[in-house]
Chain A
Amino acid sequence: MVLKDSDKIIIEHPKLNFWDKIYLPAIGQGLWLTLRHWFGRKIAMQYPEQRREDIPVSEGGLRKSNYRGLHRLNKDDQGRVACVACFMCETACPANCITIVGGPAPWPDREKYPVTFEIDELRCIYCGMCEYACPVDAIELTPIYNHVGLSRRDMIFDKEKLLENYDKTKDIKPRKKPPIVGYSSDNKSETVEYWNKIEQENNKIT
Chain B
Amino acid sequence: MLEILIKIVCVVGVVLLMVAYMILAERKIAGWIQDRIGPNRAGPRGIIQPICDGLKLLFKEDYTPDYVHKFLFIVSPCIMMGLALSAIAVIPFGGQIGEGENAIHLQIARVDIGILFVLAVSSLSVYGVFLGGWASNNKYSLLGGMRAAAQMLSYEVPLALSILCIVMLSGTLRLEKIVDLQMKGCWNIFTQPFVFIIFLFCIFAETKRVPFDLAECEQELVGGFHTEYSSMKFGLYFLGEYAHMIVACSMAVVLFFGGWQTLPFVNLFESHTLGAAVMRILIFLVKLWLFIAFYMWVRWTLPRFRFDQVMSLAWRAGVPLALSLLLLNAIIMHFYSPGSDGGYSFGYYFWQLFANIGVFVALIMIVGFSNPQLAAANKPILIDKTEEAS
Binding site for B on A (CB under 8 A): 1-3, 8, 10, 12-13, 18-19, 21-22, 27, 30-31, 33-35, 37-44, 46
CB distance from A2 to the nearest CB of B (A): 5
Q: Are B378 and A13 in contact (CB under 8 A)?
A: yes
Q: Are A8 and B380 in contact (CB under 8 A)?
A: yes
Q: What are 19 inter-chain pairs, A to B, with CB distance below 8 A?
A: A1-B386, A2-B386, A8-B380, A10-B380, A13-B374, A13-B378, A21-B370, A30-B302, A34-B33, A34-B297, A34-B300, A35-B297, A37-B34, A38-B32, A38-B297, A40-B35, A43-B35, A44-B36, A46-B40
Choice from B29, B40, B382, B386 contacting A38 with Cβ under 8 Å = B29
Q: Are B32 and A44 in contact (CB under 8 A)?
A: no
CB distance from A156 to the nearest CB of B (A): 33
Q: Are B37 and A44 in contact (CB under 8 A)?
A: yes
Binding site for A on B (CB under 8 A): 29, 31-37, 40, 297-298, 300-302, 364, 367-370, 372, 374, 378, 380, 382, 384, 386-387
Q: Are B380 and A42 in contact (CB under 8 A)?
A: no
B360 to A, closest residue via Cβ: A24
Q: Are B36 and A43 in contact (CB under 8 A)?
A: yes
Choice from A1, A8, A42 contacting B382 with Cβ under 8 Å = A8
CB distance from B62 to the nearest CB of A (A): 31
CB distance from A3 to the nearest CB of B (A): 6
Q: Are A37 and B369 in contact (CB under 8 A)?
A: no
Q: Are A22 and B368 in contact (CB under 8 A)?
A: yes
Q: Are B382 and A3 in contact (CB under 8 A)?
A: yes
Q: Are A22 and B364 in contact (CB under 8 A)?
A: yes
Contacts of B372 in A (CB 8 A): 21
Give Cα distance in the complex from A19 to B367, angstroms. 10
Known contacts: A2-B387, A27-B302, A31-B298. The answer to whether A37 contacts B367 by CB under 8 A is no
Which 7 A-B residue pairs are closest in the complex by CB-CB distance?
A18-B368, A34-B301, A44-B37, A44-B36, A30-B301, A38-B32, A34-B33
Interface of B is mostly: loop
Give Cα distance in the complex from A37 to B364, angstroms. 29
Give Cα distance in the complex from A31 to B295, angstroms. 11
B390 to A, closest residue via Cβ: A2
CB distance from A59 to the nearest CB of B (A): 15
Choice from A1, A21, A27, A37 contacting B368 with Cβ under 8 Å = A21
Give Cα distance in the complex from A183 to B335, angstroms. 106
Give Cα distance in the complex from A12 to B302, angstroms. 24
Known contacts: A2-B387, A8-B380, A30-B302. The answer to whether A42 contacts B32 by CB under 8 A is yes
Known contacts: A1-B386, A31-B297. The answer to whether A38 contacts B33 by CB under 8 A is yes
Contacts of A40 in B (CB 8 A): 35
CB distance from B122 to the nearest CB of A (A): 25
CB distance from B342 to the nearest CB of A (A): 37
Known contacts: A2-B386, A13-B378, A31-B301. The answer to whether A42 contacts B35 by CB under 8 A is yes
Contacts of B29 in A (CB 8 A): 38
CB distance from A32 to the nearest CB of B (A): 9
Give Cα distance in the complex from A39 to B363, angstroms. 34
CB distance from B242 to the nearest CB of A (A): 20
Give Cα distance in the complex from A40 to B33, angstroms. 9
Give Cα distance in the complex from A2 to B387, angstroms. 7
CB distance from B204 to the nearest CB of A (A): 12
B32 to A, closest residue via Cβ: A38
B370 to A, closest residue via Cβ: A21
Contacts of B382 in A (CB 8 A): 3, 8
Q: Are A42 and B387 in contact (CB under 8 A)?
A: no
Give Cα distance in the complex from A34 to B368, angstroms. 26
Choice from A2, A30, A37 contacting B384 with Cβ under 8 Å = A2
Contacts of B370 in A (CB 8 A): 21
Give Cα distance in the complex from A33 to B372, angstroms. 29
Contacts of A1 in B (CB 8 A): 386
CB distance from A25 to the nearest CB of B (A): 10
Contacts of B386 in A (CB 8 A): 1-2
Give Cα distance in the complex from A46 to B382, angstroms. 57
CB distance from B196 to the nearest CB of A (A): 14
Give Cα distance in the complex from A34 to B31, angstroms. 11
B380 to A, closest residue via Cβ: A10
Give Cα distance in the complex from A40 to B298, angstroms. 17
Contacts of B387 in A (CB 8 A): 2
Give Cα distance in the complex from A41 to B32, angstroms. 9
